[in-house]
Amino acid sequence: MLAGMAIVFVSGCANTRIPRIDPNGSGLFAADGSSTEIIRPFSYGESDFRIPWFPKPAFSTDEESSTERADSQASSTVGYPGAIWVSPEKIAIPVGSEVVLHAGLIGSNGQLSVARRLDWTITEGQPGSFVKAGGGNPSNMQFLFPSLGSKATERYANVITAKSAEQVHQGTNTANDDIMVGPGQGWVTVTSKDTGNTRVAVGATAEPDWNQQFSYIDIEWIDVKWQFPEDQSVSAGESASLVTYIERPSSGTPIQGWTVRYRIRTTNNEDTVHEIQTDTTGTANIVLDPQDISSGSAQVLIEVIRPPLGDADETIVGRGSSLVTWNAPGLQLRATRNISMNVGDKRVLTAIVENPGNQVARNVVLVGQSPSNISVTNTSPPRTSQLESDYWELGDLPPNVQKRIEIQINGTVAGESTYRLIARSDDGLQSESIIPIQIDGFPILLTVDGPDTAGVGDVVTYRYILENPTAEIFANVEITATLDDGLVHVTQNDPTGDPTARQVRFTFDQIQPQQGAGKAISFKIREPGQQCHVLSVKLANGQTIERKVCLDVTETSPDLSVSSALDLKIEGPNKLTQSKPEQLSFTVTNTSEQDLTGVSITVKLPNELQAQLASDGHKLVGNDIIL
C-alpha cells in the first residue's frame, strides 16, 4: 500500500503542530489524535522576504536593553582559494557588547563559496561566549530539521554560509539588530562580561577544499561605557549643546583624555568635524550655533576614540548619532553640479529650492546671475523679471516642500564660466549654488563674405571678418587659405599671380576684446565647376577652426554688375568740427526690377575719424564699418 504525504508549511513566527507519528509502527499517525509541536530553532520576524534597504551601522544600541552590538562587514571577498576570509581581523569593544563576526571560505574563483560549513571556536580560558550563529535566513527545511542549520554553544559554533546577500532578522520588532550578510558569508555574535582578550578561530573542517589553515579574529574587551546625546528640538536662534559621557562601568569613574569626534552634517550636505577630548568629568561637549548652519537641522555622527596604546594607533570603539532640529524655516538650494557643452548647444540647468525646516519660509525668491558666454532661452516656470538678472518669485514655502526650476541655456562663446544661483527669503535665510560651465569651441567668430557664382577668367574677392566677443586679447592669429587648382591668388600689384602657389597666409598681430579684424583676398578663376578654398584660423595656443568656401564657376561669366541698378545717397555735413559728433546717413535704392541679395555698404574712415555709433548689425573691421 502506498501512502501519500504532504506537509503544509505555515508562515509566521508561531510554532507548527502536525499529527504525531505512531510510535508503535502500526499506522502512519498515532490513533489517539495527539500531535507533535515543531519548535522553530530560529525566529526572524513576519516575512521571509525582506529586502535590506538600510546599511548596518558599525555600532547600534537596542533601546530595550543596555546591550550594544558592533557589526563589521567585508569590503572585498577576493582572496586565495581554500583560505578562510574573516572580518574584522581585530576589534576593540566595550564589555557587555555583542559583536558580529563574519567569515567565509574562498573558492577557486577567488570569491566566497555559498552553502559551506564553517567551524568557530573560542580559545579555552579566554573570556567571551557565542550568543548566536548563522548564514542567511534559515530555509523551511532548516526549521523542521535544525541539525541542517547553524548552531552555537558557549565555546563552539558552526554555520552554513549564505547563498545570497540577505538581511538576517533576529525576531524583534526593530531592524536595528538585523545582520547583513553577503553571498558565501557566515556570522556569529560574541559577548563577554569580563575584560580581556578573546581569540576566535575559524576553519572549515567538513570542506575538502579548505587549506587546513585556521584564520583568527582577536577581540579586546574594554572596561568602558558611554552615553551619547539624545535628539534635540530647539527654538529658532538658540544654540544646541551636545554632551557625550564616558566612564568605566566596573568602578563608575569617568574616563579622561579619550577623544569624541563630532561630524556635523546638515541638510545642505555640509560636513564639519570637531574632535573634543573628555575632561576630568568624562564629558566631551560641543555647542552648535544656528548661525553656522544654513539649514533647519543637523545630523551629528559621533565616534568614541581610545588613545593609542604603545605602538598601536588610536581605536574607534563606538559610534552613534544625534539629530538636532531648530524650530524655524530652512532654505536649501540644490542645482546641476556642472555643465559641459559646445558653442551653439542647448542644455537644461535644474535648480531645486527646498524648505528643510519645520516652519514656513516666507516670500522665497531665486536669483540667477548668468555669465556673458551663455544666453537663457527658456525657463520653467517663467521668470518673473530679467532686467539685471534672472529672477523667480516662488512665494511662501511650507516645511519639507520643494520647488523645481528648469533653465534652458545656449552656449554662445567658448570658455569657462559660472552660473550663480541664490535663493533667499524674508526670514533672512539664503542658500547659494555656483555651477561651473565649460563651453568648448572656437572663441573667435568667423564670417566670410563673397560671391557664390562666377565665370572662368573672373576675379572674385572674399572678405574674412574675425570678431572677438570675449574679454581676452588674441595675439598672432594666423589665417591660411588652401586653394583648389582652379583658383589663383592675385593682388593689385600682381594681377596674374603664381599658379603654383596653393596657399595664402597672413597674420593679425592682435584682436582686441569686443573688436574685430578683417582681410580681403582676391582670386582669379581659371577652371569651370565647383572651386573651393579651405580657410583655417589658428590661435597662438594652437586652437584651430576650418571653413570650406566654394563657388560654382561657369564657362561664361554671368553678369554680376549691379552698380547700374543701385543708387547710393549720402546725407550729412560736408565739413566736420573737431570733437563735435556728426551723423552720416547712407541710403541704398534698388532701381532694377529684380531682387538683389548680399548688398552691403563699407564705410572707409580716415585715421582722423572714429566711429561712435552705427546701425544695428554693423561690423567694425579696423577703422572700417560694414553696414
CA distance 218 to 198: 6
In this model, does residue 431 exceed pLDDT 70? yes
In this model, does residue 375 exceed pLDDT 60? yes
Say which range, 2-6, 193-197, 568-572, has the weakest mean pLDDT.
2-6
Same-domain status, 276 and 373 = no
The answer as to whether 47 is a domain residue is no
Same-domain status, 343 and 386 = yes
Same-domain status, 323 and 238 = yes
CA distance 29 to 20: 6
Angle at 59 between CA 55 and CA 62, to 5 degrees: 95
**Residue 80 to residues 102, 108, 185: CA-CA distances in angstroms?**
17, 8, 16
Residue 580 in grid coordinates: 563735435
Is there a contact between 374 and 439 (Cβ–Cβ < 8 Å)?
yes
Residue in 103, 107, 105 with CA at minimum distance from that of residue 72 = 103
Element (H or E) spanning 274, and its range? strand 271-277
Same-domain status, 502 and 620 = no
Q: Determine the average pLDDT of the residues in 453-465.
A: 89
CATH number, domain at 426?
Answer: 2.60.40.10
pLDDT computed for residue 201 by the predictor: 95
Is there a contact between 358 and 427 (Cβ–Cβ < 8 Å)?
no
> Tens of pLDDT along 68-112?
333 333 334 457 899 999 999 999 889 988 899 999 999 988 899
Same-domain status, 216 and 133 = yes
The answer as to whether 70 is a domain residue is yes
Same-domain status, 256 and 217 = no
Q: Which of 296, 327, 358 is the last residue of a domain?
A: 327
Pairing of strands 179-181, 196-203: unpaired
Predicted TM-score (pTM) of this structure: 0.47
- SS3 for 245-262, per residue? EEEECCCCEECCCCEEEE
> Tens of pLDDT along 338-355?
998 887 788 999 999 999
Mean residue pLDDT of the chain comes to 79
* 246 pLDDT tier (thresholds 50, 70, 90): very high
Residue in 259, 250, 190 with CA at minimum distance from that of residue 218 = 190
Q: Which of 180, 206, 222 is the last residue of a domain?
A: 222
Same-domain status, 79 and 209 = yes
The answer as to whether 178 is a domain residue is yes
Same-domain status, 294 and 375 = no
pLDDT computed for residue 303 by the predictor: 93
Residue 624 in grid coordinates: 572700417
Same-domain status, 371 and 267 = no
**Residue 487 to residues 313, 457, 478, 504, 551: CA-CA distances in angstroms?**
79, 10, 21, 11, 11
Same-domain status, 78 and 193 = yes
pLDDT computed for residue 79 by the predictor: 77
The answer as to whether 193 is a domain residue is yes
Pairing of strands 315-327, 232-235: parallel
Count up the domains in the chain and report the number. 6
The answer as to whether 280 is a domain residue is yes
Q: Distance from CA of residue 361 to its chain's centroid?
A: 28
If one compares 434 and 560, the residue with the highest pLDDT of the two is 434
The answer as to whether 48 is a domain residue is no
Say which range, 184-193, 249-258, 549-558, has the weakest mean pLDDT.
549-558
DSSP 48-90: S-----SPPPSEEE-TTSS-EEE----S-----TTPEEEE-SE
Same-domain status, 229 and 218 = no
Q: Which of 327, 342, 368 is the last residue of a domain?
A: 327
DSSP 278-331: --TTSEEEEEE-GGG--SSEEEEEEEEEEPP-TTSPPEEEEEEEEEEEEES---
The answer as to whether 514 is a domain residue is yes
Residue 251 in grid coordinates: 568602578
Same-domain status, 249 and 279 = yes
The answer as to whether 54 is a domain residue is no
Residue 454 in grid coordinates: 562666377
* 515 pLDDT tier (thresholds 50, 70, 90): confident
Residue 505 in grid coordinates: 597666409
Residue 231 in grid coordinates: 535628539
CA distance 330 to 471: 39
pLDDT computed for residue 613 by the predictor: 74
Residue in 359, 401, 322, 396 with CA at minimum distance from that of residue 236 = 359
Domain coverage including residue 356? 332-440
* 255 pLDDT tier (thresholds 50, 70, 90): very high
Q: Determine the average pLDDT of the residues in 266-294.
A: 83
